[in-house]
Amino acid sequence: MTAIHPVPAARWSRYRHPRSTIRFAALALILVFLAWSVRFLNIDLSRILGAFPRLAEILATRYSPPDMAYVAEPDFVRSVVRTLEMSLLGGFFGVLISVPLAWMAARNITVSRAVAYPLGRFAIIGCRSIHETIWVILFVTVLGFGMLAGTLALTLFCIGFAGKLFSDELEAIDMGPVEALRSAGATPLQVFQYAVIPQIRVAFTGIAIYTWDVAFRAATVVGFFGGGGMGWYLKRTTQQLETTRVAAILLVIIGMVLIAEIGSGWLRKRIGRMK
């Protein structure tokens, strides 16, 4: 018969040193840095709060009513279609290229930690480090204005965005099936096909849909800097101070982003049920 040892009573402590001390010190340093930044940048908080009533007044007097007849013109409707095409093409090619790059950049299943891993990481980090507006400016200087520059900029943007999420998902898989196939003599491609893809196919599909959702929002910004589509019309009307047309274009953008958000959310829910 085993002896029953009494359970020691739990001791409650209000303050745990040094963990709590470090935590409070870090929080205090962050607050001090924020306060110093506000003072150093000479940010007038009262002026910021007072800007919202003035913004509402400007929107009501200068941007109302929106010129909806302008956004119903055939040329603008075609620009909307071009924006959709850019986002679809950029998202498709970006996701397609990011899959092998994520495979290379996943430390646990990469083909070669000495060569493939740093190359994959460098490619993904390089695409993520540069904003899509900078990409489109670079491509416009080389290729000229138009959808080609915008599509290439969105492609690189999606490579960085999706590649990061894909590689993180790959590094979180169960390594049991991977090690089993490796011990049986399977090639890296066979390991990826039969041990990795079944674990990540649902997550990858959801990430691909989310990537397109983000690419669609970025397509408008890309167009503003020379990539074509709705962004070009927004830039032109803004520079010409056609405020009612600007308001109409912004309403169209908000409506389309809302529809894309609802559609992508519905697809992600359907995919989530497949798990």
Which residue from 163, 42, 176, 23 is spatially nearest to 102, judged by alpha carbons? 163
- Predicted TM-score of the model (pTM): 0.77
Residue linked to tokens 């929080």: 27
Q: Which of 3-7, 37-41, 100-104 shows the lowest per-residue confidence on average (mean pLDDT)? A: 3-7
Structure tokens at 67: 């010129």
- 161-164 long-range Cβ contacts below 8 angstroms, 24+ apart: 161/94, 161/128, 161/211, 161/214, 161/215, 162/94, 162/95, 162/98, 162/102, 162/207, 162/208, 162/211, 163/98, 163/101, 163/102, 163/105, 163/120, 163/123, 163/124, 163/127, 163/128, 164/124, 164/128
Determine the average pLDDT of the residues in 105-127: 89
Cα separation, 218 vs 189, whole angstroms: 34
Q: What is the SS3 string spanning the chain?
A: CCCCCCCCCCCCCCCCCCHHHHHHHHHHHHHHHHHHHHHHCCCCHHHHHHHHHHHHHHHHHCCCCCCHHHHCCHHHHHHHHHHHHHHHHHHHHHHHHHHHHHHHHCCCCCCCCCCHHHHHHHHHHHHHHCCHHHHHHHHHHHHCCCHHHHHHHHHHHHHHHHHHHHHHHHCCCCHHHHHHHHHCCCCHHHHHHHHHHHHHHHHHHHHHHHHHHHHHHHHHHHHHHHHCCHHHHHHHHHHCCCHHHHHHHHHHHHHHHHHHHHHHHHHHHHHHCCC
Quote the pLDDT of residue 70.
Answer: 87
Cα separation, 123 vs 127, whole angstroms: 6
Structure tokens at 273: 């049920």
Which pLDDT tens digit goes with each residue over 213-259?
A: 888 888 888 888 888 888 888 888 888 888 899 899 989 888 888 88
Which pLDDT tens digit goes with each residue over 44-63?
A: 777 777 778 888 888 888 88
Share of the chain above pLDDT 90, in %: 19
Which pLDDT tens digit goes with each residue over 145-192?
A: 888 898 999 999 999 999 999 999 998 888 888 888 888 888 888 888
**Residue 264, C-beta contacts closer than 8 angstroms, at least 6 positions apart:** 209, 210, 212, 213
- Per-range mean pLDDT, top range of 27-31, 68-72, 215-219, 232-236: 27-31
Cα separation, 262 vs 209, whole angstroms: 12
**Is the bond into 18 cis (omega within 30 degrees of 0)?**
yes
Cα separation, 147 vs 128, whole angstroms: 21
Quote the pLDDT of residue 11.
Answer: 63
Structure tokens at 216: 């669609």
